[in-house]
Amino acid sequence: MQRLLVTGGAGFIGSNFVHYVLENTGDHVTVLDKLTYAGNLESLKGLPAERFRFVRGDICDASLVDGLVAAADVVVHYAAESHNDNSLQDPRPFLDTNIIGTYTLIEAARKHGTRFHHISTDEVYGDLELDDPERFTEDTPYNPSSPYSSTKAGSDLLVRAWVRSFGLQATISNCSNNYGPYQHVEKFIPRQITNVIDGIRPKLYGKGENVRDWIHASDHSAAVLAIIDRGLIGETYLIGADGEKNNKEVVELILQHMGQPMDAYDHVVDRPGHDLRYAIDSSKLRTELGWEPQFSNFDAGIEDTIAWYLDNGDWWRPQKAATEAKYKEQGQ
């Protein structure tokens, strides 16, 4: 049995990871989460009390972090400010959490000799042309486009430097766009699903040509566990499920699964600096660590996600009105 400290474990992919670990291992999990608007204790409801503990706090709080890291065998660092639109409105929280917070954690991990896994994003690589056959690999140069992705790139580089300079026992994973249960309704897929549930037409940025490489959150969780168990210290692993779809295709698939006309959506003003295409080559992870996604069929993954939001209105509805009001102010 390992003792895992999961930062940001009340957020979307963090909470999915916590559920996955407690359902598939005998490990004990402590979650450290500040409970900003994106963190939700309801996402951790019903977990086994004998193997789960929640601590509310800030990853920038060095004293708190030091004690929690000292008691852990592994730190899994999900905590991040992550919404591109928010980073364009107010970049400062992204610097505080993604840079200073990561620094605080890796300093504690270095002090106590604790294994550290850093969760990052494919957005640090910038974007690809829509007709480019290439995909991101572990050797792709960083070229971030937004305050969000640039601060995530900075946090990656901090972890790499601490491995080289101080012997930090760390690995990094850069994952493509996640979808699945417990995702805040400000994000693209749950926003469209909950709009249809509420009788609101889905919203599509620009022409909807932007391509993302989608992966179900449970597949991301399985990949992170594989890296913690079998990954080589100092290595970076890209996580992707070959799920490239443009935003127009995603909206139309959601409408189709929910019994609506496939053209029943509205175009809205595009996001500034909107990256064109992300695409992940996860060959290293698959070949070296033997990981494979279970939701290799995006259609099945979307159907599963729609069913979750239909069944869990009590979880997402408190967020919905304020989220849509904010988008309306932005013309989106």
- Which are the catalytic amino acids? 122-123, 148
Residue 95: what are its φ and ψ, rounded to 5°? -65, -45
Residue 293: what are its φ and ψ, rounded to 5°? -75, 145
Angle between helices 12-24 and 217-230 (to 10 degrees): 60
**Listed residue (152, 146, 59) closest to 108, CA to CA:** 59
CA separation for the pair 31, 283 (Å, rounded)? 31
- For 221-232, b where at least 16 C-beta lie within 10 A, e where not — what string? bbbbbbbbeebe
| Helix, strand, coil percent values for the chain (each to nearest 5) | 45, 15, 40
CA separation for the pair 67, 261 (Å, rounded)? 54
DSSP symbols for 31-80: EEE---TT--GGGGTT--TTTEEEEE--TT-HHHHHHHHHT-SEEEE---
- For 40-62, b where at least 16 C-beta lie within 10 A, e where not — what string? beebbeebeeebbbbeeebbbee
Six-digit token string for 122: 């494919």
CA separation for the pair 33, 16 (Å, rounded)? 14
Cα diameter, the chain: 57
